[in-house]
Amino acid sequence: MSNQRRPLIAGNWKMNGLASAASELKELVAHAEKHAAPKCDILICPPATLLREMAAVAGNSAVEIGGQVCHANESGAHTGDISAEMLKDAGASYCIVGHSERRADHNETNAVVKAKAEAAHRGGLIAIVCVGETLAEREADKTLDVISDQVKNSLPEGATAANTVIAYEPVWAIGTGKTPTPDDVAVVHAHIRKELDALMNDSDQVRVLYGGSVKGSNAEELMAVENVDGALVGGASLKAADFWPIVATSI
């Protein structure tokens, strides 16, 4: 992990969580409040139904709240969709775009992801742009080609270290319990850094997170990998007791 870049430990709750889940955030906030000056940023991205309530619970604590996706437009006839401006209004400061589940289940192309990242910036949110290869792509030795394509074509003009975070999440590792080796992660993160160098003036300050079956038992090893600036955590972020040990590796 680079000393230049402040780590970000982000939890993506996906389609999980009812109002009662606020108790988990309260517990997380209580953990964070024991550290007067945490050395990392802490983020929870709950379902949109919980955003405003969770933002109120987080208050002025070290825990920030984010959205899981946004529409490219500010408003309009888009039933069921949510704009970046709406997320911001509900208390979000970040928005995940291009998560592999969105790319696969909703056919979100690089162009769509780019438009949503632009929308996040327009709405005053930090975009967490996700990239990652499938198992078939990895087995075909196409990992770095896929990553290059996604980074080059998913980042909008105007992307900076202040408004954009990259999250590398090998699709085959999400929710499977499988993780690449630290060496595998190091190779991909170094490649992402190289691609960013060609695209952005402040690329050395852009945070690149690792995501894919991150849990308390492997977080310290993964967070120690060069060019890994934090984590995008799925299932292990739903319970404060599981998520805090991951945060604690960077606190």
81-135 residue pLDDT tens: 999 999 999 999 999 999 999 999 999 999 999 999 999 999 999 999 999 999 9
CATH match of 8-248 with 3.20.20.70: yes
Query: So where are the chain's domains?
Result: 8-248
So what's the pLDDT on residue 1? 45
Rounded to a whole number, what is the distance in angstroms from the first to the last CA of the chain?
13
Q: Which of 119, 2, 125, 15 is nearest to 64 (CA)?
A: 125
Residue 157: active-site member = no
So what's the pLDDT on residue 174? 80
So what's the pLDDT on residue 89? 98
| Given the residues 108, 169, 189, 191, the one annotated as active site | 169
Distances (CA, A) of 7 to 41, 115, 120, 220, 224: 6, 26, 21, 13, 11
Residue 99: active-site member = yes
Q: Which residues of the chain have pLDDT under 70?
A: 1-3
| Given the residues 71, 99, 121, 189, the one annotated as active site | 99
- pTM value is 0.96
Q: Which of 20, 116, 122, 138 is nearest to 68 (CA)?
A: 116
So what's the pLDDT on residue 172? 87
